[in-house]
Copies of this chain bind each other. A is one copy, B any other.
Amino acid sequence: MIHENIIDLVARRFQVLGEPCRLRILQALQGGDRSVNQIVAELGATQPNVSKHLQILFDAEFVTRDRCGNNIIYSITDPVVFKLCDLVCRSTARHAAHVQKYANEGRSRKLTGPNGRHRRSRTSSIQGVH
């Protein structure tokens, strides 16, 4: 149960993880600490974009950083973030399987009666409602 006081902070941290580019950055750092340019090379993204995402990850305390001469080395703050990704990843794999399955059957179910009355097929028009 999330306390109302911190629910905005929790949401914000989920939101920070809700960006493919940032997930890729975290994955790169899972392979070990990296400088900005190393991440840029690994992702094939632009340097300003990577820097900005790193700043966002830093503000959310998902990463820490240390200067090493001209380079700034970024590191994972807490490996628990990979546990999070793993959990979402598993259920997403199931989700993706469903999506794939529905894509192969009929598509685009909408809200309607439980038994498909006034419908030509037997698919209920509200997904998840039978």
Contact = CB atoms under 8 A, between A and B. Distances in A.
Given A2-B89, A72-B129, A15 B18 contact: yes
Contacts of A67: 114, 126, 129-130
Q: How many identical subunits does the complex contain? A: 2
Given A67-B126, A83-B87, A88-B13, A61 B18 contact: no
A83 B24 CA distance: 23
Per DSSP, are chain A's interface residues mostly helix, strand or loop, or mixed? Answer: helix
Given A65-B128, A72-B129, 9 more contacts: A1-B30, A13-B88, A13-B92, A14-B88, A61-B98, A65-B127, A66-B129, A67-B126, A72-B126
Interface of A: 1-2, 6-20, 22-24, 27, 30, 58, 60-61, 64-67, 72, 78, 80, 83-85, 87-96, 98, 114, 126-130
